[in-house]
Structure 1
Amino acid sequence: MSTDRTVITLCGSLRFRDAFERLAADLTLAGHEVLVPTLLPAGAEPDAEERARLGEAHLRRIESADEVLVVDVGGYVGDSTRREVEHARSRGIRVRFLEPPTEGDLVDG
C-alpha cells in the first residue's frame, strides 16, 4: 500500500449533506484521506459557543489538508465557506470548487 496520499478537506454549506457524504465516500475509495465538517444529527441546533468550537475544529481540518474542495452545489458559497477558503489560501493550501466557477467566484488565480 502506498503511503503517498492527498488529504482533502471538504468545505461548504451543510445544506448539501448528501453531496458531502457522496464526495467523501468517492474520494476515500479513490485513495484520498478526506476530512469533513462535523455533521450534526438532523434538527440539532448548536448554540453560539458550540458553533464557534465547530468552526475552529474545521479550520484545523483545513490546516491539515493538502487541498480544499468546496462543495458549492449550484454555485452556492456562503459567508462561512468564503472565510474557510480565505483561511486555506492564506496558508497556501490549494482550493478547488465542485462546480465550474462563474464570474465573481473565489477562484485561484
Structure 2
Amino acid sequence: MDQTPGVHQPHPPIVVLCGSTRHWDALAEANLYETAAGRIVLAPACDLKRSHPLWNDPAKADRLKQMLDDLHRKKIDLADEVLIVNPGGYIGDSTRSEIAYACSLGKPIRYTHPVQQ
C-alpha cells in the first residue's frame, strides 16, 4: 500500500452495531468478529440494564438514554453499513427504530441471525 505523505488513504469499512443491550455478550462478540474482519466498529458503549453510578439516578438515566439514542443515530450516519445483532431473531422497538433510520439513509443492513416474522 502506498504511504506517500499527503496522499489520503481510504479507510476500512465502518460498521455500526445495533441491537438490544440485553444481548450485551452477543454485541461484544460481533464487535470482535467485525474488527477481526478489518472493519472499523461503532457500537453501543453503555448497558443501562447494568448498575453504574452514571445512571443509578432515574432522572439521570432518562437524560442519558435520550443522549445515547441521539449519539447512536450519529454513529449510523457515519457508518458505511449496519449490522443488526439479533440472537434468536429478536429485534426490539429501539432496534426497529434504528433500522428504519438506517433505511431512510440508504445504509446496507446485515443481520447476525434470521429475522423473526
Could you state the TM-score of these two structures normalised by the residue count of structure 1? 0.85
1:6 offset after TM fit, Å? 1.1
**Counterpart position of 2:51:** 43
Q: How does 1:25-104 map to 2 (within 5 A)?
A: 25-40=32-47, 42-44=50-52, 45=55, 47-103=61-117
CA contact (8 A) 2:84 2:111 kept: yes
Equivalent position SS for 2:15: strand
Q: What RMSD over aligned residues (CA atoms) do the two structures have, in Å?
A: 1.8
Aligned equivalents of 2:110 and 2:34: distance in 1?
Answer: 14
Matched, 1:18 2:22: no
- SS of structure 1 residue aligned to 2:22: helix
**Deviation of residue 62 (structure 1)?**
0.6
TM-score where L is the length of structure 2: 0.79
| Runs of at least 4 residues off by over 3 Å | 1-4
Letter in structure 2 aligned against 1:12: G
Which of structures 1 and 2 has the bigger CA Rg?
Answer: 2
Aligned residues: 103
Q: Which runs of 5+ in 1 are unaligned?
A: 104-109
**Aligned-partner SS, 1:58:** helix
